[in-house]
Structure 1
Amino acid sequence: MRFLDVRHYVAMLLALVSVVVVAVVLFDGHSAPPPYSTPDTAREPLSAEPRARPTVLFIGDSYTAGHIGVKGSQTFARLAADQMGWICNIDAEGGTGYLADGRENSTDFAPYIKRLARTRSQYLADYIVVSGGRNDLEVAGFESNFATAASRYLRALHEAFPDAKMFLLAPFWQNDNPPEALRQERAVIEAIAANVGATFINTSTWLNPKMISGDGIHPSLGGHRELADEMVSALRSRGLEPFESGPLAAAHS
């Protein structure tokens, strides 16, 4: 009987040891990692989220809106945006400007400043390109009012779109011999650009008589294409490149 008791005791002891071993193994399997580890830096995602396509807002007159013989989709603004791969919004009405209201074309037209609230409510913009000014030469009191009107509008535009990068184009003229008043306009716009954090772009060499349509004022279709090339060249020279859609990590796909 005592021999059987010993065998029973040994069996119980072995069973207890087994339980302890199993418990140790289970506990070790859930133990915390060492106090340091090496990250797996070799892994990269096979794809990435596409970047958002930039949006540009062109503001101007008939050069931007379109005119007889040139549809809105054929202007330098639309063509330049297409080349850059940007979404294009247009706030442009023929005959208008910083002062000019364009009423000879439509009673619904208005100067830039009076369109701003509507423009702000309708559009978003990463970039803004403002052109125009030649129509203002015909407005009574132009000499004494242009600088104030242009400064007021461009400051308000900057406040309405504080995160947008602004480009101010020198007023267009159909040749390299504009009237002195237009030269003064260009100087005013350049000075305002520096004060509102915008970039002034000199367009004085962009147009020549061969690019002008039969009306003697507006660019032809070919003229708009050349203007678009000039616009894109100006943007790229300032560090902007055409948008490329698709995953940033397309090389891994």
Structure 2
Amino acid sequence: MRFVSRDDLRGGAVLPLDTVGGPAGMWVVEECLDVAESVSIQLEVTKSATHALFSGAMRTAHGSFTGYASPLPSSCAHVTDELEEWGTALGRHLADHGYAGPCGLDALVDVDGVAYASESNIRRTATTTPHTMVTRLTAGPANTHPAWSVSKGGTRDPVDFEGALARLRASRLVFDPERGEGVVLYADAPPDGRSWRYAVIARSAGDVEEQEAALAEVLEFEGG
């Protein structure tokens, strides 16, 4: 693999590139984008139709996946229909080849609000299991269209599971089945007592943000 910057091609410069894959080899050139959001949509393919399950924005740090929030934030909500159109087209293509099951489509939204499809996954993804958990926890009538997020926060000092849960209960942040919202520590206690994985379920994206901010304060997350 060879990385080429814009500076390498200034003034019409030509770079000699070795043939890849023999005489019939091809090069794939990726455009450098000023990315504002990384988004995705997850779908289920059946023989008769492709169903959109959820879409959202991926949280990343230094290029690595750290969390997810659904639905799409207002800054990129305008690409929701486009994502569904692309995902449905992918599902039809897969169904035509005999596939049935989960699939997903990732995209980048640039600073001008334009979406670029970047990756497809013909499998379950890191967001599928949390979404299933949220769906089960909100199966009652209290919160039929939940907003949710999953992420990880590091406490300044080690905390055991009982201590973390006690803090959530005292602050009324712990998940309440009757209301269909709250915080779930879904990966048990971390070995170091500091790196906590959590889900926040609420009625709107704004409520999710408020509860996450409160959670960071209650558990004393570093940088919170």
Q: Which has the higher contact order (CA 8 A, sep 6+)?
A: 1
Answer whether TM exceeds 0.5 for this pair.
no
- The alignment's TM-score, normalised by the length of structure 1, stands at 0.20
Higher strand fraction (1 or 2): 2
Higher helix fraction (1 or 2): 1
Q: Which has the larger radius of gyration?
A: 1
